[in-house]
């Protein structure tokens, strides 16, 4: 989840509209494939993303669909309307009733969904965890995600540079208990300890609501007029912080490092509202998960853990094709 990722907009109605169109494009089933995939040709796989309207997960779904088609797998994409256990659990239960051969899922909580996942796994469905994961190590044949602790360190280094290695910084996250965002906070705070002239305030949580993040950054500014930097743990938080700073007339004065590289974030980077984007590779996550399921369907072992790359994007390097290839998509 972004992917809490991920697991995880300011313009929710617009994002939802884009998601509906994208979901239609990305959820069509792919059959057929080359002869090398004949052993897996009849296998049905479902992908449950953390947030169906999030370009991170749209990018993942598009790549997974292409990879599944190439391997002769029948892939269906589902997604939560919001990052919430009570929304995702019924999706899992519904998919379990259809007994797919494989399930790719970005769980929105590290523990609460374990019973449902254990049940579907016990019925014979192979599970690949994508982006986010669960605490129970027995769940899943493979776990594919970014190194989120390293991503937090990358954000800290880039933000410290933007701040001139001094001042006060704040982290705003989604909620505790999401594997990816918890790891980002850990990496960020550990790395920031190497900058003794930067004070990191206690982490705030916005429940993945941009409006809450906007209010929180403004309240932080009121209490700490010397605020020089903010780390937005995911896309919605980044959008909220950017909006809050703009409303407060502090756009550019408070440096912001945000996770992910969705279209609105890229536009904000270009406009100078955000200074750093830590981009993941959701397309690689989706494609590699399909690869691992396909391998098990054909009697080959799956890799238990797979990491995917990240890159720090700034206004200075965003036009480099080797960097811009990490920008996320809003449709297939």
- Report the topology of domain 148-279: Rossmann fold (3.40.50)
pLDDT for 88 equals 94
| pLDDT tens-digit readout, 115-165 | 999 999 999 999 999 999 999 999 999 999 999 999 999 999 999 999 999
Separation of alpha carbons 92 and 113, rounded Å: 9
Give 153-200 pLDDT, tens digit per residue. 999 999 999 999 999 999 999 999 888 899 999 999 999 999 999 999
Residue ranges, comma separated, of all CATH 3.40.50.2300 domains in the chain are 12-146+281-308, 148-279
pLDDT in tens, 202-238: 999 999 899 999 999 999 999 999 999 999 999 889 9
- Whether the per-residue pLDDT at 29 is higher than 80: the answer is no
pLDDT in tens, 45-100: 999 999 888 899 999 999 999 999 999 999 999 988 888 899 999 999 999 999 99
The chain-wide mean pLDDT, for the chain, equals: 87
pLDDT in tens, 268-301: 899 888 999 999 999 999 999 999 999 999 999 9
Report the CATH fold assignment for 12-146+281-308: Rossmann fold (3.40.50)
Q: Residue 16: what pLDDT?
A: 34
pTM for this prediction:
0.76
């Amino acid at each position: 989840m972004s992917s809490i990722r991920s697991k995880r907009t300011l313009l929710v109605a617009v994002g939802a509209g884009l998601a509906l169109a994208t979901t239609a494009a990305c959820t069509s089933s792919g059959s057929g494939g080359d002869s090398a995939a004949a052993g897996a040709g009849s296998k049905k796989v479902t992908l449950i993303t953390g947030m169906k309207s999030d370009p991170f997960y749209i990018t993942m779904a598009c790549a997974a669909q292409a990879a599944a088609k190439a391997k002769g797998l029948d892939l269906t994409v589902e997604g939560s309307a919001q990052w919430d256990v009570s929304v995702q659990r019924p999706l899992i239960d519904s998919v379990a009733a259809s007994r797919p051969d494989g399930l790719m899922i970005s769980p929105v909580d590290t523990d609460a969904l374990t019973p449902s996942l254990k049940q579907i796994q016990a019925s014979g469905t192979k599970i690949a965890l994508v982006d986010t994961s669960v605490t129970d190590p027995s769940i899943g044949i493979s776990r594919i995600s970014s190194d989120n602790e390293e991503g937090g360190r990358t954000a800290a280094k880039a933000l410290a540079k933007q701040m001139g290695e001094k001042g006060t910084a704040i982290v705003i996250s989604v909620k505790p208990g999401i594997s990816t965002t918890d790891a980002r906070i850990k990496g960020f705070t550990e790395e920031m300890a190497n900058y003794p002239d930067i004070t990191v305030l206690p982490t705030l949580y916005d429940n993945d609501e941009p409006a809450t993040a906007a209010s929180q950054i403004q309240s932080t500014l009121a209490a700490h007029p010397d605020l020089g930097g903010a780390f937005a743990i995911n896309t919605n938080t980044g959008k909220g912080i950017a909006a809050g700073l703009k409303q407060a007339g502090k756009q550019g004065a408070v440096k912001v490092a945000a996770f992910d590289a969705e279209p609105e974030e890229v536009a904000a980077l270009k406009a100078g509202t955000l200074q750093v984007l830590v981009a993941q590779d959701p397309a690689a996550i989706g494609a590699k998960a399909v690869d691992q399921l396909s391998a098990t369907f054909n009697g080959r072992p799956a890799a238990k853990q797979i990491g995917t790359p990240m890159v720090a994007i700034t206004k200075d390097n965003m036009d480099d094709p080797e960097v811009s290839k990490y920008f996320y998509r809003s449709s297939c």
